[in-house]
Amino acid sequence: MDKQSKATISISEAAKELGVSTKTLRRWTDAGKIKYERSVSNQRRFYLADIKRLMPRDLKQLDERITVNYARVSSHDQKADLVRQVQMLEAFSGSNGWQFETIQDLGSGLNYNKKGLKQLLKRIMAGDIGRLVITHKDRLLRFGSELVFAMCEEFNTEVVIVNKSIEETTFEMELATDMIELITVFSARLYGAKSHKNKRLIDGVAKAVEESK
């Protein structure tokens, strides 16, 4: 071991190096998350090389990260389902003793540009979220939820999926709503927003959906 590897610093110096308070650093060491040695005067001493190896992402993982519940429905007439979804997630997280926040989205599962989803992904990549709780994987995206799961794995975010019967009752209806939106977008591009052919197509699909409820 070279001199630099053997060099030790005090707890105040280590805290300054890491950009945290001495209270936080003392809590981490008491929990066994950072190694230290005792000096002859019984003071905590930290190896400078160990401290310098810690990256900002590592520091966030040393502390307790937040649990985030994510709830989503496709349309305004499903707001009651959104409320039940939020209640279910918060009851589940609360019963497990997790400190949590809840993000709600109102928008199609085909829409990758939802405000809540963008906020969720940004915080996952920042390393702020330790656990993501959803009622069903389609709450994230109708297609592409596996990409979000891969991102969670990369940033050490645990994913918890709570499957409940309420999800099954709304799944087909919400999927139909998403498909209407998809057809609307593509048919509008193909035929023009004012096309009579486009309007007949959308009216026909909407009627079929209504009859299937």
Catalytic site residues? Answer: 74
Euclidean distance between CA atoms 117 and 2, whole angstroms: 48
